[in-house]
């Protein structure tokens, strides 16, 4: 058995090197130039285009009452809000109607489920896009609220003649003393680090519907969601994965461009939500799946090989030094990223968060192999 120890050690070095390379080269968000209006003024669009904000809601009456005023208070010269009532059974339709009657910037779209698209958010969003008055679209969810009154302005600055997709950050409200909340925000942070980094590197692969913008021209050019209309989730990341290129996509991550929503309050609810999200990833382009799989595999193999080497005491001094170096590099990358995305407290517990997330993702993968996750609502 001892003759296998050197091979295990070589495996440990290889997977650690691969993992570190990802933090240096693929996850470059932490080392990218500051993303502020001033820093990007040469590249951002000086002529702010009219914006249609698209909000799809299903049984969100209470959230709409609280959040619609925040949307209407946005400091932006010309915008409308298209609210889509996706066959709600509560007072969502009535709430939308009240705001539509009192403010001409509000447009209401009521969706009646049809058999072919029962419970399909993409069908509802398509109707909303068709109802939009302006070419530039900004998407968010009914349970999200802009972090500032400049949200539309900051996201709109990402548009230009070349840039038709703008990726934003959709964070979660912090709850003091809640381990679950901290884990959810760490997972959200790390996902953002990934899709921002890939976009910065010219390989955009996803975005989040809580804060995402693109043009109607691109939407119709891609034939909307038709290529994945039967997949229950993925109105955001699958569309970006399909339509985004290094030339037409940009990312905005200063605080004024953020949206904030409330995180799930139970592990079961979060697990169910993430099952839907993870299930969509299998429909990404094969290159994106390959690159993501290599990173997650290197993470898992790093922990397994490190544990086995320390257990056998083979070259344990060198092993500890490599582990320390790897954690230093990863911690710096995650820490700087967390600072940029206003999630500093998530960085303090990075080693535990990382370990938890690996096993959490494995459990989701296993659950999705057994059964399909439910529709969006």
Contact 141, 211 (CB under 8 A): no
Residue 3 has pLDDT above 80, yes or no: no
Query: Region 326-336: what's the mean pLDDT?
Result: 93
Residue 309 has pLDDT above 60, yes or no: yes
Element (H, E) at 165: strand 165-167
Q: Which residue has the higher pLDDT, 27 or 328?
A: 328
* Per-residue model confidence as pLDDT tens digits over 205-256: 999 999 999 999 999 999 999 999 888 788 999 999 999 999 999 999 999 9
pLDDT of residue 39: 45
Residue 155 has pLDDT above 90, yes or no: yes
* Per-residue model confidence as pLDDT tens digits over 44-78: 555 789 999 999 999 999 999 999 999 999 999 99
Q: What share of the chain in percent tops pLDDT 70?
A: 93
pLDDT of residue 277: 81
* Per-residue model confidence as pLDDT tens digits over 347-369: 999 999 999 999 898 898 888 87
Question: Which structure tokens are listed for 256?
Answer: 């004024």
pLDDT of residue 5: 82
Query: Region 146-159: what's the mean pLDDT?
Result: 96
Q: 320-328: long-range contacts at Cβ-Cβ below 8 A with a sequence spacing of 24 or more? A: 322/12, 322/13, 322/16, 323/16, 325/20, 326/16, 326/19, 326/20, 326/302, 327/351
pLDDT of residue 231: 85
Residue 42 has pLDDT above 70, yes or no: no
Query: Region 5-21: what's the mean pLDDT?
Result: 92
Tell me how far apart the alpha carbons of residues 40 and 49 are, in angstroms, rounded to a whole number.
17
pLDDT of residue 54: 98
Residue 41 has pLDDT above 50, yes or no: no
pLDDT of residue 137: 98
Q: What is the dihedral of CA 263, 265, 269, 274, to 10 degrees?
A: 30
pLDDT of residue 35: 61
* Per-residue model confidence as pLDDT tens digits over 158-198: 999 999 999 999 999 999 989 999 999 999 999 999 999 99
Residue 149 has pLDDT above 80, yes or no: yes
Tell me how far apart the alpha carbons of residues 262 and 257 are, in angstroms, rounded to a whole number.
17
Residue 377 has pLDDT above 60, yes or no: no
360 φ, ψ (degrees, to nearest 5): -65, -45
* Per-residue model confidence as pLDDT tens digits over 265-283: 999 999 988 888 888 888 9
pLDDT of residue 38: 45
Listed in sequence order, the residues at least 6 apart from 284 whose beta carbon sits closer than 8 Å to its beta carbon are 205, 206, 237, 238, 241, 292
* Per-residue model confidence as pLDDT tens digits over 78-132: 999 999 999 899 999 999 999 999 999 999 999 987 654 555 889 999 999 999 9
pLDDT of residue 279: 83
Listed in sequence order, the residues at least 6 apart from 300 whose beta carbon sits closer than 8 Å to its beta carbon are 358, 362
Residue 40 has pLDDT above 90, yes or no: no
Q: What share of the chain in percent tops pLDDT 90?
A: 73
Contact 168, 259 (CB under 8 A): yes
Residue 374 has pLDDT above 80, yes or no: no
Query: How sure is the predictor about 373, in pLDDT bands with cuts at 50, 70 and 90?
Result: low
Listed in sequence order, the residues at least 6 apart from 303 whose beta carbon sits closer than 8 Å to its beta carbon are 355, 358
pLDDT of residue 1: 67
């Amino acid at each position: 058995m001892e003759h296998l120890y050197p091979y295990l050690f070589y495996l440990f070095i290889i997977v650690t090197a691969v993992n570190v390379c990802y933090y240096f080269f693929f996850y470059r968000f932490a080392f990218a130039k500051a993303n502020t209006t001033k820093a990007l003024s040469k590249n951002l669009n000086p002529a702010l285009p009219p914006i249609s904000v698209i909000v799809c809601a299903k049984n969100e009456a209470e959230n709409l009452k609280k959040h619609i005023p925040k949307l209407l208070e946005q400091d932006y010269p010309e915008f409308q809000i298209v609210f889509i009532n996706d066959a709600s059974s509560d007072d969502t339709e009535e709430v939308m109607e009240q705001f539509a009657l009192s403010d001409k910037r509000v447009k209401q779209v009521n969706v009646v489920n049809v058999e072919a698209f029962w419970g399909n958010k993409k069908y509802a969003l398509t109707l909303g896009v068709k109802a939009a008055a302006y070419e530039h679209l900004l998407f968010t969810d009914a349970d999200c609220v802009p972090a500032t009154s400049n949200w539309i302005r900051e996201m709109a600055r990402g548009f230009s003649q070349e840039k038709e997709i703008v990726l934003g950050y959709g964070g979660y409200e912090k709850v003091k003393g809640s381990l679950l909340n901290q884990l959810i925000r760490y997972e959200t942070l790390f996902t953002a680090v990934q899709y921002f980094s890939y976009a910065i590197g010219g390989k955009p692969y996803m975005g989040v519907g809580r804060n995402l913008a693109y043009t109607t021209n691109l939407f119709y050019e891609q034939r909307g969601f038709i290529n994945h209309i039967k997949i229950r989730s993925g109105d955001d990341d699958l569309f970006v994965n399909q339509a985004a290129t290094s030339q037409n996509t940009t990312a905005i991550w200063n605080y004024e461009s953020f949206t904030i929503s409330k995180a799930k309050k139970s592990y079961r609810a979060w697990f169910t939500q993430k099952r839907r999200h993870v299930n969509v990833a299998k429909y990404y382009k094969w290159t994106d799946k390959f690159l993501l799989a290599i990173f997650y595999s290197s993470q898992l193999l790093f922990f397994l090989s490190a544990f086995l080497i320390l257990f056998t005491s083979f070259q344990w001094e060198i092993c500890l030094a490599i582990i320390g170096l790897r954690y230093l590099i990863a911690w710096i990358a995650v820490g700087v990223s967390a600072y940029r995305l206003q999630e500093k407290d998530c960085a303090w517990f990075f080693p535990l968060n990382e370990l938890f997330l690996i096993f959490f993702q494995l459990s989701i993968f296993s659950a999705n192999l057994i059964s399909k996750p439910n529709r969006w609502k």
